[in-house]
Structure 1
C-alpha cells in the first residue's frame, strides 16, 4: 500500500458493532496515510412471498433508512481531519462494496454483520470480499463477550 493523498479506504457499514469498528479503524488508517474513507451501505428489498399477490414497496423508504444507518455510523466516528465520503447503493452488500472498491487501496469490513448465523467467524459478505476484492481486505473481528 502506498502513502499518498490518493489513498482510499472503502468501508462496508450496516450499523452492526463490527461495521462501526471497521469504520473507526479505516478512519485511523486513512489519517495515517493522508487519505480518505468511502463509507458504503447497501440496501435491498426484503424477500416476501405472499402467494401470487404483488407487494408494493416504497423504494425511497428503503434508501432513506440505509442513508440514516450510514449517517449515524459516520457521525459516531471521530475521524479528525479525515474526509469520509458516503455511498448508498441498491443491491447486495458484497456487490455494492465491490463496485465502490474499484480503484481503492483497501476495503475494511466487520467479520460479521447483522444477518444470519451468529456462530460463524466470518459472515457471507466478508468471506465474499476476501475472495473477490480487487485490493487488500481487512476484516475487523468484534471482541467476543462471555
Structure 2
C-alpha cells in the first residue's frame, strides 16, 4: 500500500485511512513525500543542486514523520512502514511507484479554481494514469455544531 504524504490536512486524512487499511489487511505501508523543488537532470554536476536535493530528501522524511505524529502519535509499531522521498512531479512519482496489485491512497483537499489552474491536482493525475487501484480520501468539513474535537492531536489534525 502506497500513500502520498504532504503538509495538507487532506494528506493526513489519507494517511489515517491508509494506516487503518494496512492494519486491517496486514500490508506494509509505503509513505511517499514528493518535493516539487526544481531539479536538474544531472544534479551531481552542480554541487549546489546536489546539496539542495540532499536537503529536500531529508525534509521529505521530516514531513512524513510529522504527519505520522499528528495522525497516530508516531509511526505505528504494528505495521511495517517505509518512508520514500522524491523530487519532481508528485503525480508522476506516485504512479511510477505504484505497481500492479498495489493500492495507492491520496488525499483530496478543498482548493479554489485558481489554485487548481496554477497547480494541477495530483490525485486526478494519479486516477487517470495509475494502473492500479487508487483510493482518494476527501478531507471532511470541520464540525459546525461547535463541539470540540477531541484531544490536542485532533485539534491540530483539523486545523493543519
Tell me if TM exceeds 0.5.
yes
Tell me the TM-score normalized by structure 1. 0.74
1:60-113 per-position Cα deviation (integer Å, ceiling 9, x unaligned): 222222221112112334345122211101221111111221245211100128
Change (3 A) 1:119 1:142: farther
Map of 1:66 onto structure 2:
60
Residues 26 and 37, structure 1, Cα contact 8 Å, conserved in 2: yes
The 2-side partners of 1:63 and 1:114 are apart by 26
Q: Distance in 1 between matches of 2:113 and 2:89?
A: 14
Asked if the contact 2:36/2:87 (under 8 Å) is kept, the reply is yes
Please list every run of 5 or more consecutive structure 1 residues that lacks an aligned counterpart in the other structure. Answer: 1-8, 48-55
Normalized against structure 2, the TM-score is what?
0.68
Distance between the aligned counterparts of 1:28 and 1:117, measured in 2?
34
Query: Number of paired residues?
Result: 128
Gaps of 5+ in 2: 40-47, 145-160
Name the residue aligned to 2:13. 21
